[in-house]
Each structure stands twice: as C-alpha cells, then as structure tokens.
Amino acid sequence: MTSSYDAIVIGLGGMGSAAAYRLAARGLRVLGLERFTPGHDRGSSHGGSRVTRQAYFEDPAYVPLLLRAADLWEQVERDSGRDIVTYTGGVMIGRPDSRTVAGSKLSAEQWGLAHDMLDAAEIRRRFPTLNPADDEIALYEAMAGFVRPEESVLAHLQLAGQAGAELHFEETVAEWAAEGSGVRVTTDQDTYTAGRLVICPGAWAPDLLAGLGVDFEIERQVMYWFAPEGGTAAFVPESHPVYIWEVDADTQFYGFPAIDGPDGGAKVAMFRGGRRCTPETIDREVHDAEVEAIRTHLRPRIPALPGPLLHAATCMYTNTADEHFVIAAHPAHSQVTVACGFSGHGFKFVPVVGEILADLAAEGSTPHPIALFDPARLLPASRKAHP
C-alpha cells in the first residue's frame, strides 16, 4: 500500500534526524527512513564526540551559521533533556601563517568573536599537557568544545517523534523519483509518496545522489582512544581544551579531553589524509602502523597522551572537491532538497542544517547564508552551461 506524506526524509543520521524534527515541528506530516538503527555506528555520526568551535579557518562565511547552531543546541538540549554540547574552550595551534591559526584569527576578527592569541610559552603555561614548538602559537576561544553525536541524533529523533514524525528504521531506500510536483520513494519494504523529499545520505551520496553529477570522495578515518601516561587527571574537561594542531600544510590532528571518566581515555584523530573507500568496502580494522603514525605526531607535542591504546573505531568523511558542504534544492527537481558532502566538518552545524533544510523544503528558501553550498560550483564547466 502506498502512504502519502507532506515530506519524506531519507537518512536519519546527524543531518536527517535534525531535518525530520524541524519539518515535523512546523506541522508537516513527515516520514523518516533509515537503513540502520537510531544512533548507529555505520555512517559518519558516531564515536562519542565531535569538535565544535566558532572561529572557523575553513571560511568566515560559516560563522553566522555556527552562532545560530549554538542557540539551537541549547534549545534541543532543553527540550530533549539530553546533554549534547560542552564548552571546554579550544586551541587552534600551528605556525602563525598556518591555515589553522591564520584562518581562525581572520574569521574571529571579521565576526568580532571573543578569542585570545597565545604564544608557545603561554600555551604551555595554561595547558601543561601541550608542548608546542617555540615558533608555534594558538588561537584560544572559550566557545569551543565538544558535541556528543549519538546524543544529538537520539535527541532529534525523540523530538521528531514527539512532533508527530513517523520514523522507520532498518528500512533501506532502493530508489526515489520525482513524480509530477511530488516524489515517490521505494524501499526494500514499501513505496511512499510525498510532496517534498529531503535527502541526507551521508557516505551513501554517490548512490542516492548520482544525478547531481558531483564527485563525492568517501574517506576512511580512524578515531583513537589512548589511556594517558599518569592517568586522565591532567586531561579532564573542566581544565583541558579541545585542540586542532597543524603540524604542516598537509597534516592536522585534533583531540578531546578525557570526557568519559578515568577509564575512558582521551580521543584523538587525524583530520583528513585517510584512504578512499565506500560504505561497502571500508576496512573497519585498525592497523598497528596507523596507531604508530599518530603516536609519532603526539609524542613530541602531547607527550603524556599516547599511552596504551584502549580502543579505535573507523568512520567516513564525504568530501567535496573544495571541502565545502552541499545544501540546496536539487537542481533538476525543486521538490527535492539535498544535504551532503560535509567533508569531515559538518557535525557542529547539525541543528542549523536541520533548520535550513526545513526552510528549503517547506518554504522554498532560507534566510540563512548558504551560497557557499550551491552544488553548481562543483560541476564541470560544460554541465554548468547546459544544466
């Protein structure tokens, strides 16, 4: 039997859970479809923590979205009763002309964000676990910290359900098609129709959004939890910031305080530089050589951190060529809205992306500045001229 809805959301991970909630909260009849279980670990939104920050070296254009996200996280925490965001402060470390430092500083100055610039001695004094080289500096901001991704997904699903959304798990979308002014979605279990479709496919973008013509690169990433030498006391979130450390133009790592108690270790990971994969072929095993590689970066810089490895897990980035997101109406079907290509830095935007997707799907436009995320920029010149 075919059931009909105002809007269908495909993918109930980080972004889709937020879109389903915001659409249902506006009174639309929403169906959410997800191939796995709520808060699963097969996509891009698991592993216990994500960095959030406001000074944004990737581009100052992201800052207003981050300011809105901070307000929305607060509302989602309040309404769901879940603990999602913790502001520990954050340091962006590197040489003064590095993208991490110079880009963060530029965006902080452009938007008047509160921040301090710290020289190497000041970094060591304020954060004794960190041991920068004498010519490295940092931008510190208090409004950085961590988001708990699984809690965010569960909170948005909870609020979506309370607002009347119908949410189906372990149901895989086989195909979708525009039909008249609406859409038809076929799963492994049923067929549904709706006036609007929102597609938040994460690493499955190459399958579900092949028609966009955009090349998405799926990248395997590893998260490592180390038991610091001397215990976690020096790494507690009350005094230890999140950090991003630019070693050189091609090498950044980032990490968190010990947010899971004395036995949970502290998480650290490389930012980019992983192997290309697909959701079907990703190697979920973590190899000794990769553990040794990250230890090599950590030993001189955070000497106490790389004690015994407690745990490691893989995750996928969905990269665009310029590492900016894709959030837009589908160029060929105005009733379809897409959100993908978050290029390893999307989670901190989840609630504002949900709001933007609800704007685009329900109203056809959004007051938020999203020009940077237009997929047309990623198309070969020939396709741009003849869409």
Interaction site with ligand FAD (CB under 6 A): 10-16, 33-36, 43-45, 47, 50-51, 172-173, 200-204, 208, 221, 223, 269, 315-317, 340, 342, 344-348
Q: Pick between residue 243 and residue 317 the one whose CB is nearest to ligand FAD.
A: 317
Closer CB to ligand FAD, 43 or 265, in the complex: 43
Q: What is the DSSP letter of 102?
A: I
State the number of CA atoms in the 13 A half-sphere of 193 facing the CB.
Answer: 9
Rounded CA-CA distance 170/166 in Å is 14
Encoding tokens for residue 243? Answer: 């950090």
C-beta of 188 vs 229, nearer to ligand FAD: 188
- The answer to whether residues 174 and 186 touch, using CB atoms and an 8 Å cutoff, is yes
From the CB of 381, what's the least distance to ligand FAD, in Å? Answer: 27
Shorter beta-carbon distance to ligand FAD: residue 124 or 330: 330
What's the closest the beta carbon of residue 271 comes to ligand FAD, in angstroms?
A: 8
Helix axes 149-162, 63-80, angle to 10 degrees: 60
Minimum Å distance from CB 32 to ligand FAD?
9
Residue 79, both tokens? 């309404």
One-character DSSP codes across 221-255: EEEEEE--TT-SGGG-TTTPPEEEEEEETTEEEEE
**Shortest Cβ 175–ligand FAD spacing (Å):** 9
CB of 183 to ligand FAD, least distance (A): 14
Residue 17 main-chain phi, psi, to 5 deg? -65, -40
**Cβ closer to ligand FAD: 118 or 353?**
353
List strand residue ranges (DSSP E) for 67-141, in order. 85-87, 90-94, 116-118, 137-141
Q: Which residue is nearest to ligand FAD (CB)?
A: 13
Nearest residue to 65 via CA among 290, 359, 295:
359
Strands (E), 200-332: 217-226, 242-248, 251-255, 266-271, 309-319, 326-330
Q: 353 in the Ramachandran plot: left (φ > 0), alpha (ψ -120 to 50) or beta?
A: alpha
Least separation in angstroms between residue 208's CB and ligand FAD is: 6
Least distance (Å) from ligand FAD to the CB of residue 53?
8
For 15-80, the DSSP string reads HHHHHHHHHHHTT--EEEE-SS-TT-SSSSS-SS-EEE-SS-TT-GGGHHHHHHHHHHHHHHHHHH
In the bound state with ligand FAD, the residue whose beta carbon lies nearer, of 219 and 359, is: 219
**Nearer to ligand FAD by C-beta: 138 or 270?**
270
Q: How far is the CB of 125 from ligand FAD (least distance, A)?
A: 26
Among residues 28 and 269, whose Cβ is nearest to ligand FAD?
Answer: 269
Strand partners, 225: 267, 311
